[in-house]
C-alpha cells in the first residue's frame, strides 16, 4: 500500500474551495491608488490605454521615454547589503555595502542580506502597493511584464530599467490539486501547487537569476578598475541552466561547475546549449561550491550561487505572487523543498515584507521538506536546533537538493523559527511514489515536488495540517527535466523500490482481438454488459 496515501475514511468536509474562481483574478483595469498625504509616488510607467507602441521603438526604448516623462525618478527607495544575523541587535550598524560593490561575506565571514529602506516604502500604504502590483499583471510594458520586476521597488529599486535582463519570468500558475487532495490526502479541499517550474529554463531559479544578472549587467556598464569578465556558479543543474540563459540574453560569459554524472541529461544540455563554459568535476555539489569560491576569489568572475543574496530578492516575489493570486488572502501553509536553503528564507522574506508594509496582517506557516538522503536541516530541527552538523549527502532522485552543507542554513533556521515552521523528510521510495501519484491526478511533477508532497502527507496524517487548511506546495522545477527517473519508475526498474504506481505501456500484437483483450484486462468494466 502506498505510503503517500493517507489511511483515512471518506471526508465529510465539503470540497468547495474558500473562494470562487472569479476571486483568483483581480480586474484587468485597476486605477492605482496613492494616499493623499504621500509624496511623489513611484513611477508606474505603464503604457497609456489604447496606445500602440510605434513599430520603430522597442519596449526598452518605450520604457525609457515613459520613465523620463513621468517626472518621478527620485522616488527615494534604496537597498544595501548588511550582515545577516538572527539577532539584528548584534550587527554592527555601521557595516553595510552598496549593491554596486562585489562582496559576498560580512567582515566576520557571515552571510549578507539585502536590506531595503522600509521607512521610505512605508510612506505608501498597503492598498497602494497592492493596487500598483496588480496593475502591472499581464502587461508587456518593460520591465513590468515580469513577475519579478512588477515588484521592482521591492527588488532592486535603484537599477536603471535599461540594465534589467528579463524574459518576463514569474507569473506562474496555481494548480488547484482537487483530485489529489480529495482522494489521497483525506479530503483536502483547498490544496494548491505553485508551479514555479513553469518558467523560462524550467525552474524557480529564473526568479533569482534575472536579478543577479541584471545587477552584473549594471556593474559591467560602470567604470571599474577590475571589470567583471563573467559570472560563475556551482550547480546541481537548475542554477546553471538559469545562469546560462540569462547571461546569453545579456551577452555575458557564463562559467558553470557541475558534479559529473550526477545531474539529468536535460539539466546538462541547457548550459551547453546556451553557450556556457561547462566544467564537469569528479565531486559532489559541495566540492563544486568550494572550487567556484576559490576561482571567483582569484578571477574577476561574479559568484552567482545563493551565497549571493541578490538572487533571494527575486525568489521572494513568488510569495507576493501567491498572495496576489488569492486576492491578498494569506494561506495557512506553504511547503517548500529545501537543499541549499535559500528559497525557504526567500519565501519568508516575501511574506514578511507584505506584512510589514501593510498588505496582509499575518504570514503563513512554512514547512521545509528535505530528501532523507540529504537532510541536514531536518536533523538539526529534530535535535531541537542544537549545534548544526553538515553531512555527506547520499544520491537522491531529488538531485537539485542533494546538498549536505547548505550555504543558507542560518537563513533557513531564522525563517522557520519566525514562521512557527516545521521540517519534514522523504525517503527515496516515498518521494517517487508521491511524484507518480500526483502525476496520476493530472500533474507532471519533479522529484523535489514529490519531497514536498510527502511532507504534506505526513503532516496531514498526523493532523498538523487540517483538511480545510489552505495549503500551497511549491513545485520548484518542471517534470520534463526528470523524464528518465519517471521512465525507470514506470518500468519498475529502480533497485529496491516497489514502484507502487507504475503504469508501464502494454505491448500487444497489431490486431483487433489482441487489443480488445488488453483493454479488458486494463479496463475490467469493458468486459461486462
- Check if the beta carbon of residue 413 is closer than 8 Å to that of residue 386: no
Beta strand 422-426 pairing with 471-475: unpaired
Check residue 522 and give its pLDDT.
Answer: 87
Beta bridge partners of 496: none
174-201+314-490 — its CATH code?
Answer: 3.40.50.1100
Check residue 527 and give its pLDDT.
Answer: 53
Residues 371, 376, 381, 386: what is their CA dihedral angle, to the nearest 10 degrees? 170
Euclidean distance between CA atoms 241 and 169, whole angstroms? 14
Coarse DSSP helix, strand, coil percentages of the chain, rounded to the nearest 5 percent:
40, 10, 50
Burial class (CB in 10 A: 0-12, 13-18, 19+), 277: middle
Rounded to 10°, the helix 317-325/342-356 angle is 60
Check residue 45 and give its pLDDT.
Answer: 53
**What's the first-to-final CA gap in the chain, in angstroms?**
31
- Check if the beta carbon of residue 199 is closer than 8 Å to that of residue 170: yes
Nearest to 67 by CA among 169, 143, 125, 130: 143
Q: Is the dihedral of CA 177, 182, 188, 189 positive or negative?
A: positive
Three cell numbers, residue 522: 486494463
Residue 280 φ/ψ, nearest 5 degrees: -95, 120
Beta strand 254-259 pairing with 333-337: unpaired
Euclidean distance between CA atoms 323 and 329, whole angstroms? 6
Place of cell 504506481: 501
529 residues of the chain, pLDDT tens digit each: 444 444 333 333 333 334 333 344 334 343 444 443 444 555 555 555 556 777 777 888 777 776 655 544 457 899 999 999 998 788 888 999 999 999 999 999 999 999 999 999 999 999 999 999 999 998 889 999 999 999 999 999 999 999 999 999 999 999 999 999 999 999 999 999 999 999 999 999 999 999 999 999 999 999 887 899 999 999 878 899 999 999 999 999 999 999 888 877 888 899 999 999 999 999 988 899 899 999 998 999 999 987 899 999 999 999 999 999 999 999 999 999 999 999 999 999 999 999 999 999 999 999 999 999 999 999 999 999 998 999 999 999 999 899 999 999 999 999 999 999 999 999 999 999 999 999 999 999 999 999 999 999 999 999 999 999 999 999 999 999 999 999 999 999 999 999 999 999 999 999 999 999 999 988 876 655 4
Three cell numbers, residue 378: 531536518
Q: Where are the domains of the chain?
A: 174-201+314-490
Q: How many residues does the chain have?
A: 529
- Check if the beta carbon of residue 360 is closer than 8 Å to that of residue 323: yes
Check residue 29 and give its pLDDT.
Answer: 40
- Check if the beta carbon of residue 66 is closer than 8 Å to that of residue 58: no
CB 70: neighbour CB atoms within 10 A?
Answer: 15
Euclidean distance between CA atoms 382 and 462, whole angstroms? 16
Secondary structure string (H, E, C) spanning 229-292:
CEEEEECCCHHHHHHHHHHHHHCCCEEEEEECCCCCHHHHHHHHHCCCEEEEECCCHHHHHHHH
Question: Long-range contacts of range 304-307, CB-CB < 8 Å, 24 or more positions apart?
Answer: 304/209, 304/212, 304/213, 304/231, 304/232, 304/233, 304/239, 304/243, 305/233, 305/234, 305/239, 305/340, 305/407, 306/208, 306/239, 306/340, 306/341, 306/342, 306/407, 306/408, 307/104, 307/105, 307/111, 307/407
pTM of the predicted model as reported, rounded to 2 decimal places: 0.88
Place of cell 551577452: 251
Euclidean distance between CA atoms 174 and 151, whole angstroms? 19
Check residue 265 and give its pLDDT.
Answer: 82
What ranges make up the beta strands (E) of 416-524?
A: 422-426, 471-475
- Check if the beta carbon of residue 30 is closer than 8 Å to that of residue 135: yes
Rounded to 10°, the helix 409-417/342-356 angle is 40
Rg of the chain in Å (alpha carbons): 24
DSSP letter assigned to residue 333:
E
Amino acid at each position: 500500500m502506498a505510503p503517500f496515501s493517507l489511511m483515512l475514511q471518506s471526508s465529510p468536509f465539503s470540497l468547495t474551495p474558500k473562494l470562487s474562481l472569479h476571486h483568483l483574478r483581480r480586474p484587468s483595469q485597476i486605477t492605482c491608488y496613492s494616499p493623499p498625504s504621500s509624496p511623489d509616488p513611484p513611477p508606474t510607467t505603464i503604457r497609456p490605454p489604447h496606445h500602440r507602441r510605434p513599430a520603430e521603438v522597442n519596449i526598452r526604448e518605450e520604457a525609457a521615454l515613459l520613465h523620463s516623462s513621468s517626472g518621478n525618478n527620485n522616488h527615494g527607495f534604496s537597498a544595501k547589503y548588511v550582515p545577516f544575523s538572527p539577532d539584528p541587535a548584534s550587527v554592527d550598524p555601521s557595516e553595510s555595502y552598496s549593491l554596486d560593490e562585489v562582496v559576498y561575506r560580512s567582515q566576520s565571514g557571515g552571510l549578507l542580506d539585502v536590506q531595503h529602506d522600509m521607512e521610505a516604502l512605508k510612506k505608501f500604504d498597503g492598498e497602494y502597493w497592492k493596487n500598483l502590483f496588480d496593475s502591472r499583471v499581464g502587461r508587456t510594458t518593460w520591465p513590468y511584464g515580469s513577475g519579478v520586476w512588477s515588484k521592482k521597488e521591492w527588488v532592486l529599486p535603484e537599477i536603471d530599467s535599461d540594465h534589467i535582463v528579463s524574459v518576463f519570468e514569474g507569473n506562474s500558475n496555481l494548480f488547484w490539486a482537487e483530485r489529489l487532495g480529495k482522494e489521497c490526502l483525506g479530503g483536502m479541499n483547498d490544496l494548491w501547487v505553485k508551479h514555479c517550474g513553469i518558467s523560462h529554463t524550467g525552474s524557480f531559479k529564473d526568479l533569482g537569476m534575472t536579478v543577479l544578472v541584471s545587477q552584473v549587467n549594471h556593474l559591467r556598464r560602470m567604470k571599474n578598475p577590475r571589470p567583471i569578465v563573467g559570472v560563475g556558479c556551482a550547480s546541481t543543474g537548475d542554477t546553471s541552466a538559469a545562469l546560462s540563459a540569462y547571461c546569453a540574453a545579456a551577452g555575458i560569459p557564463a562559467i558553470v561547475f557541475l558534479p559529473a554524472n550526477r545531474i539529468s541529461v536535460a539539466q546538462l544540455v541547457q548550459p551547453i546549449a546556451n553557450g556556457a563554459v561547462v566544467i564537469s568535476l569528479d565531486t559532489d555539489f559541495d566540492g563544486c561550491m568550494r572550487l567556484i569560491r576559490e576561482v571567483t576569489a582569484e578571477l574577476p568572475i561574479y559568484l552567482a550561487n545563493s551565497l549571493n543574496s541578490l538572487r533571494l530578492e527575486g525568489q521572494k516575489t513568488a510569495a507576493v505572487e501567491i498572495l496576489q493570486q488569492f486576492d491578498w488572502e494569506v494561506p495557512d501553509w506553504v511547503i517548500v523543498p529545501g537543499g541549499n536553503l535559500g528559497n525557504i528564507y526567500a519565501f519568508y522574506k516575501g511574506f514578511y515584507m507584505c506584512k510589514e508594509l501593510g498588505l496582509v496582517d499575518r504570514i503563513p506557516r512554512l514547512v521545509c521538506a528535505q530528501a532523507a538522503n540529504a537532510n541536514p536541516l531536518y536533523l538539526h530541527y529534530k535535535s531541537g536546533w542544537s549545534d548544526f552538523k553538515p553531512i555527506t549527502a547520499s544520491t537522491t532522485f531529488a538531485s537539485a537538493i542533494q546538498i549536505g552543507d547548505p550555504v543558507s542554513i542560518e537563513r533557513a533556521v531564522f525563517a522557520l523559527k519566525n514562521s512557527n515552521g516545521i521540517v519534514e523528510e522523504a525517503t527515496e521510495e516515498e518521494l517517487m511514489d508521491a511524484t507518480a501519484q500526483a502525476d496520476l491526478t493530472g500533474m507532471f511533477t519533479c522529484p523535489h515536488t514529490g519531497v514536498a508532497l510527502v511532507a504534506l502527507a505526513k503532516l496531514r496524517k498526523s493532523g498538523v495540517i487540517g483538511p480545510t487548511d489552505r495549503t500551497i506546495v511549491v513545485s520548484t522545477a518542471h517534470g520534463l527535466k526528470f523524464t528518465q527517473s519517471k521512465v525507470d519508475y514506470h518500468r519498475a526498474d529502480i533497485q529496491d523500490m516497489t514502484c507502487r504506481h507504475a503504469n508501464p505501456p502494454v505491448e500487444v500484437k497489431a490486431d483487433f482481438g489482441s487489443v480488445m483483450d488488453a483493454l479488458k484486462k486494463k479496463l475490467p468494466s469493458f468486459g461486462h454488459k
